[in-house]
Amino acid sequence: MTLKDLNIDNTWTLFLDRDGVINKKLEDDYVKHTTEFEFIDGVLNALRILNPIFKTIVVVTNQQCIGKKIIFPEDLVLIHQNMMYEISYLKGRIDKIYYSPYLAAENHPTRKPGIGMALQAKQDFPHIDFNKSIIVGDSMSDMEFGRNAGMKTVYISDEAKIDERIDFNFKSLIYFAHSLTQL
């Protein structure tokens, strides 16, 4: 299967993980403040390119730093407001951000690989069809989230990974965005 086979048009939905896809991951740490949030090279341009391609673009992110009481929900909201401002200022778009504040040990249904955040998005955007949705993530829990919801999966990594849960591999979001403009 190739991206071209999907016949992606502006009825599709793009689900994006945050850390490792949109912003640089901090090793053994969490983004706790806006000053620690750094966009990955090419992401702002990628979101500008992806804007007209997808009807809906949402972020789904596990944020157990809240459950661990490392940051407050208000801190995360501020980080996301600044992220959204930068993205929209440069003609990109994210329609909504969903986050799961729960600890991994809680196994909460909103925490990826559970599909709670996908179901929240569908409730907010009833036109979402998971069969016409793509999740872009950098972890296997993102890929499992996509599979569990019936989405196509895009794995972001410097090295391609072969796994039944992965449909497509790309080095970064900008490589994925450019591949869609080649269709």
* pLDDT at residue 54, as a whole number: 98
Conformational region of residue 117, where left means phi above 0, alpha means psi within -120 to 50, and beta covers everything else: alpha
Say how far residue 61 (Cα) sits from the centre of its chain: 7
Over 90: is that where the pLDDT of 134 sits? yes
Catalytic residue among 9, 17, 29, 138: 17
**pLDDT tens digits for range 150-168:** 999 999 999 999 999 999 9
User: Closest Cα partner for 112 from 82, 76, 153?
Assistant: 153
**41 annotated active-site:** no
CB atoms within 10 A of CB 6: 16
Domain 3-181 architecture = 3-Layer(aba) Sandwich (3.40)
**What's the pLDDT score for residue 1?**
82
Residue 19 among the catalytic residues: yes
Mean pLDDT of the chain: 97
What pTM was computed for the model?
Answer: 0.97
Active-site choice (19, 138, 142, 167):
19
In this prediction, residues 161-182 reach a mean pLDDT of 97
State the Cα torsion 139-107-62-96 to the nearest 10°: 120
Tens-digit pLDDT profile for residues 24-41:
999 999 999 999 999 999
Percent pLDDT > 70 in the chain is: 100
pLDDT in tens, 84-127: 999 999 999 999 999 999 999 999 999 999 999 999 999 999 99
Rounded to the nearest 5°, which phi and psi values hold at 109?
-65, -20
Q: What is the pLDDT of residue 13?
A: 98
